[in-house]
Amino acid sequence: MKSFLQDLRPMRALLLLAVLISIVFKPVPGTEAVYEGWPVFSTLLLPVLSPIFLMLLWLDSLIAKLWSTQTEGAEQKRYKMILRIDLVLSVIFIAVWYPYFVALAE
């Protein structure tokens, strides 16, 4: 586990942690916004930050793909692992958040 986190590096690990927190605490579609207390986090902040997190995942995967083409050996495998993690997490993220944003559009 320690080696896995060292391979991710701190910024990428924090991004993945933020995305996982966003997935876990996603509000139910149709939830009214709360303007005070801890529910502000799930009803206001997460819906605002979720598109930003998705764009950051895609940007990170683009950078990982770029670096994987310019490196060899263990470093190339590391970047390919990062690319797979980013893309799989992006698909899960979209699948989880899609109903929420569809409910906003209706």
In angstroms, the CA 31 to CA 43 distance is: 7
Count up the domains in the chain and report the number.
1
What is residue 79's predicted lDDT score, i.e. its pLDDT? 94
Model pTM score: 0.89
Task: Name the residue range of residue 47's domain.
Answer: 2-105
pLDDT digits (tens, 9 = 90+) for 63-84: 999 999 999 999 999 999 999 9
Task: Give the CA diameter of the chain.
Answer: 51
- Alpha-carbon distances, residue 23 vs 14, 71, 92, 106 (angstroms): 14, 32, 8, 22
Neighbours of 89 (CB within 10 A): 20
